[in-house]
Amino acid sequence: MGSDRKAAENIASPLSSERENVMARKDNPRGTDNVLQQLSFDDAEELSVKAALALKLNELIDQRGLSQMEAAAIIGMTQPKMSQVRRYKLRNISMERLMQALVSLDQHVEIVVEPAPGITVVA
């Protein structure tokens, strides 16, 4: 029983020090809901939009029980591209292409542009 506790302490010790190191980092500003921005991705906003589109696309494919080949044929993508979408590997797939894929699955895609809160536009 004592050896089990000692083993658990040895495992927990490196994790505790790693947690302290992560918590001590001040070089990465907090306060955003976008984890990709927190991780300093240059294209964080674009990747977030792509991820949201891919999530909806993957949900529709799952709901319809489509294979990658079937989905690719309906959407007009190659199976390897469809595989990338299914795995959220979205760097070489455009937002436009993801929106077109959603339209191919009978979805209405709308882009809304609104002023940010607290910004006044003067004409």
pLDDT at site 62: 97
User: For residue range 22-60, what is the model confidence (pLDDT) as tens digits?
Assistant: 443 445 455 556 555 555 556 667 788 899 999 999 999
* Sign for the pseudo-dihedral over CA of 89, 96, 101, 48: positive
Only one residue has tokens 């500003």, namely 29
What integer is the mean pLDDT of 6-25? Answer: 43
**Kindly report the CA angle at 89 between 85 and 93, in degrees rounded to 5?**
70
Q: 28 or 112: which carries more pLDDT confidence?
A: 112
Q: Where are the domains of the chain?
A: 35-104
pLDDT at site 32: 58
pLDDT at 88 over 70: yes
* Predicted TM-score (pTM) of this structure: 0.61
State the CATH class of domain 35-104: mainly alpha
pLDDT at site 115: 80
Residue 122, Ramachandran bin (φ over 0: left; ψ between -120 and 50: alpha; else beta): beta
pLDDT at site 11: 47
